[in-house]
Amino acid sequence: LKGEKGDMPIIKAGSVTPLESAAAPTVTANTNGMTTTFHFGIPKGDISTVETPVFDDSVHTYPTLQQSNSGAEEAANEIRSHESLFTILSNMKKSLSAIVQGLKILGTNVGGITGITSDLHSESDTIAASSKAVATLNSNLTIKNAHITPITSVFKMSWGYIQKTGNVKRIVISGQVTCPQSVYTQIASMPFEFAPLGHSLAKGTWLTNLLIGYINISGEEISINPTTNLNNVTIYIDETYI
């Protein structure tokens, strides 16, 4: 506020004096003309309650961690073939699915087995074919085509023909077969059946690894023609012509 003469009083902050922690704070004012200065006395804080932090600069060394544990590997059935864990889990799921599907099929075909309802999210009942038991069974089944073995060796032989005289059917060879001694046997004439190269064959049989040549049918005669380069060929003698 301005006084009657238009003067404005001035207030200034003076000094700050630290006091003992137990003393009371003080404020003193000094006036010089229009200027008033305030001085403050402020007690110190109680440093007895202030704790100085203590830092521990010692170094602690952790024990070395092993990358693997043999006991854990055995307990966890460690994958020693380096296959992906997802592959192992997938194969386990397929195996379980195959077992469940096999039991379901067994229960359906045999009867008396109930309560098998889960297929472990299998796409089809044919997943049972992935079980080792079924695969082993299939591998032991007789495959018809397995008895047809192509000729892979090269032999030479003289030509001949099949002759029928009354009820006697013969293979007549004009010469000899040229082949390793361990394989070669004189071809003999036998009624109804014949045994070329030491093998006894019934009528209507596949001749594999036996005669190298091809058959030419002309009237009553069947000629066995020789060749010097015949690979992967299977010769069949039909009983009609024997």
Tens digit of pLDDT for each residue in 157-216?
433 444 455 554 444 443 334 433 333 233 333 233 333 333 333 444 444 434 344 444
Tens-digit pLDDT profile for residues 49-101: 767 777 777 766 655 545 555 554 444 454 455 566 677 777 777 777 777 66
Write out the two tokens for 183: 């394989």
Task: Give the torsion sign (CA, 170, 175, 179, 180).
Answer: positive
Going by pLDDT thresholds of 50, 70 and 90, the confidence category of residue 22 is confident
Share of the chain above pLDDT 90, in %: 5
Count Cβ neighbours within 10 Å for each residue of 52-76 and write b for 16 or more, e otherwise: eeeeeeeeeeeeeeeeeeeeeeeee
Cα 47 to Cα 44: distance, rounded to the nearest angstrom: 8
**Is the entire prediction scored with pTM above 0.85?**
no
Question: Residue 190 is encoded by which pair of tokens?
Answer: 């036998």
**Closest Cα to residue 45, out of 13, 15, 23?**
23
Render pLDDT for 218-234 as a digit per residue (tens, 0 to 9). Answer: 554 444 544 433 333 33
Percent residues over pLDDT 70 in the chain: 24
pLDDT for position 28: 92
Give the chain's mean pLDDT.
56
Indicate the domain borders of the chain. 10-45, 85-131, 156-241
Exposed (0-12), middle (13-18) or buried (19+): which is 4, by Cβ within 10 Å? exposed
Tokens of 142: 């007789």
Rounded distance between C-alpha atoms, residue 170 and residue 18, angstroms: 140
